[in-house]
Structure 1
Amino acid sequence: MFSETLRLTYLNASAQLVSLLGDDIVGRWIPIMALVFIVGVVLAY
């Protein structure tokens, strides 16, 4: 249960970070966000 909440918070923070960076940098950050997401999922399990 805790890991699920942590994962949702993590995804929310990542989404906010992407929106703050703006569209110009999104292309560069997509691989980084994918890696961050994978790490978050691994930590959740």
Structure 2
Amino acid sequence: MNDIIQNILVFSALLVAVGFLVRKFIWKPKKASSKSCGSDGCGCS
């Protein structure tokens, strides 16, 4: 029984890690509205 729970935990952690990597590096993030005061990306508005 412990083997089943351990496998479930390992596979769920693997899915979370792969999902994070896909979201971080493969999906293109949505462009934020360009309401900045300059072109250096400081984030001031």
Provide the TM-score with structure 2 as the length reference: 0.48
The structure with the largest helix share of the pair is: 1
Determine which structure has greater relative contact order: mean sequence separation of CA pairs < 8 Å that are 6+ residues apart, divided by chain length.
1
Q: Highest CA radius of gyration, 1 or 2?
A: 2
